A and B are shown apart, each in its own frame.
Chain A
Amino acid sequence: MAEEKQEKRKLNLNRQPMPKQDHWERIKNFDEVALGYPTQVAVDEASRCLQCKKPLCNQGCPVGIDIPDFIKHIVEGDFGSGIRKIKETNALPAICGRVCPQEEQCEKMCILGKKEAPIAIGRLERFMADWEAAQGKIEVPNMAPRTGKKVAIVGAGPAGITVSNDLVILGHDVTIFEALHECGGVLIYGIPEFRLPKAIVNREVEYVRSLGVKIYTDFVVGKTRTVDRLLEDFDALFVGSGAGLPWFMEIPGENLNGVYSANEYLTRVNLMKGFRFPEYQTPVKRPCRVAVVGGGNVAMDSARTAVRLGADEVHLVYRRSRAELPARTEEAENAEEEGVIFDLLTLPVRLIGDEQGWVKEIECLKMELGEPDASGRRKPVPVEGSNFRVPFDAVVIAIGNSPNPLIPMTTPGLEISKKGGIVTQPETARSSRPTIWAGGDIVRGAATVISAMGDGRIAAASMHKYLMKQE
């Protein structure tokens, strides 16, 4: 009888849209685009959750948040318990709620997704985190008694912060070494302000610091001190040194002036605040016609940054079709709303410069889709003789990057993959050296914030076991 009732309950497919800054307004500022759910909207959205007996959404989460449970707390209006639930497994909910590709993870598994209206789990997670921040006091978790074990963390990005958070709560003495002058890694230098306000990143970093984690900035492990030198003072070490050298297409003209890697372009704007030059002294060019090569989230971030820097026309040049864009749908839509023109099935083959060495044109080939390739996507094939040239005064290459080379270069005995990453065991995130763990982009190349955090979580558990001699 009860089951019958359950089945008869009408499915609410009215997924609440995210309130956003109007696109004609937001292209003139770097403020956050998505404004967040107001309380009532969040409760309405949460109320749609079916509270499945065997929820699938949890399985889609790389850090295993108990999703139905925190959503239930939202419905009940008990936000304090909700955020506590999330924080049991996720140290950075305000960040994950904003930048996780939920449509590929938890929301993909949601049963309501079959009707194309999955619960907006990410937006609810963000709502919870923002609610807590608005209360003005962040709850400190129960801390285990001090163990006296010392752990070094290389890099204050999403992986490093997650490991630090977990291990300090478990009672260890944690020290982070960060190469840049600010903490956050890709959250600070890569993801733009309009997608992830830096104040939020700083808040999360301060939270971890408040738990007792020591942080040294301007400290390049591998250079200032090697991993082996640090291991003289620490019992275990986690490497989350992140992204390394940007990939280029290896076509003529890529070293012309006006050709940027996305890493450089975004670092100038985000970390160094080039958009406020000359108040901030790092310059960034404000070209009229910008081409961004690539189709991922970093490409979208670069294109939308160019729009905000006042470009007349921003083109996204991608060799496959719209369906294969690796970027989040939401970000691609935002980019389109902001006037970014998508040149799909287009492959740059040559960048052409002027006499002073500045890029002025791109020569491209038209592509068509052929048979599926190793990635399961249809392989783009060039159309013979379809070459054409388009004038551009800046080109941003956003086709990915390799893992950072500094630690692999300076740490003997560490097994390194062909692509330059540290090789780890997936179930422990442990490297070939028994006191070194690693995770995030240093292992995976260019991946996501949440996968880095997932690695961090796994590493922390394994490191804790090792430190407590439980293995």
Chain B
Amino acid sequence: MYKIIERRMIVPNLHEFIVEAPAVAESVKPGNFVIVRADQYGERIPLSVADWDRQAGTVTSIFMQVGGSTAKLARQKPGDTIPTYVGPLGRETVIENVGTVLCVGGCYGIGSIYPVARAMKEAGNKVYTLLEARSSFLLYWEDKLAAVSDKVFVVTRDGTKGQKGHIDKLPELMQRSGITPQLIVVNGCTFQMMRVSMATKPLGWKTIVNMNPIMIDGTGMCGVCRLSVGGKTKFACVDGPDFDGHEIDWAEFLARRKSYNLEEVDPLRRSSCRSHF
């Protein structure tokens, strides 16, 4: 059993989730994920890793409450335990000194881009960070990211902070600031990663995306996390989750991610006063 150190709603619907897992904390790297089960009936769901403390043996994730399983997680309190917390899984993000790196985060990815930005900075890169949210009240960890970035840009849909608009503004924003990134790393919702990849492809800006498919075992056995990259089938859990965003078949990926949408929210519909799932 793994003890929960912290679980708090950091902004509406996004939860900070800190778990005591010394073996995971010992070897986790930027870009890795963990697989979590909320209770003995729970499904195995992947969560991107957002931070860790090797001394304390804790690992932090940010997750969004979407369906039944994340709702169960969102109900956990500090001191509670969960039966499964396994990782670190997936290949880590390649950290090299390439010159200028743009780290893009949205949704839970504002959390998981943080260790990438930190490591890129430590590797000697000039690090710019771009955060996207619907509105300013959905932003978090700006201070943490500012501490490891040369500059943090913000795009909000409603213009309550930073540039008004969508992530499509990325090239415009960079060009206006005179920045030409040698590498862009994106962590966030599928749609955001796709839009960034589409916006940077004509410019030839190398774009790495941290993919988030449905997973079960997460160790290279079941094959549910497969996606097409450059016309070849790849498995996100062992070949990724980082891939070249310009090579991904996004339509296929979006369809595969939706394949259990109905079942995902089904437990919510069945909720009753007695058990609330």
Contact = CB atoms under 8 A, between A and B. Distances in A.
A357 B251 contact: yes
Interface in A252-292: 254-258, 260-261, 263-264, 267-268, 271-273, 277-283
Given A179-B219, A248-B233, A406-B220, A281 B267 contact: yes
B191 interface: no
B238 to A, nearest CB: 5
Contacts of A217: 84
A281 B43 contact: yes
B203 interface: no
A261 B23 contact: no
B60 to A, nearest CB: 17
A404 B256 contact: no
Given A180-B217, A405-B220, A219 B86 contact: yes
B222 A267 contact: yes
Contact of B84 (A218, A225, A256): A218
**SS class, residues of chain A in contact with chain B:** loop
Contacts of B220: 244-245, 404-406
Contacts of B264: 283
Interface string B211-246: 000001101111110111000010100100000000
Give the interface size class of chain B: 35 or more
A278 B270 contact: yes
A242 interface: yes
Contacts of B251: 357
Contacts of A404: 219-221
A436 to B, nearest CB: 19
Interface residues of A, number: 46
A171 interface: no
Contacts of B226: 255
Interface string A395-407: 0000001001110
B143 interface: no
Interface string A217-235: 1111001110000000000
B5 to A, nearest CB: 17
Contacts of B172: none
Contact of A242 (B26, B88, B221, B235): B221
B49 interface: no
Among B223, B227, B255, B256: residue with most chain A CB under 10 A: B223
B68 interface: yes
A264 B88 contact: no
5 contacts: A243-B221, A257-B255, A261-B224, A357-B255, A405-B220
Interface of A: 179-181, 189, 217-220, 223-225, 242-246, 248, 254-258, 260-261, 263-264, 267-268, 271-273, 277-283, 356-358, 401, 404-406, 409
Interface of B: 23-24, 26-27, 37, 41-44, 68-69, 72, 83-89, 216-217, 219-224, 226-228, 233, 235, 238, 249, 251-252, 255-256, 258-260, 263-264, 266-267, 270, 277
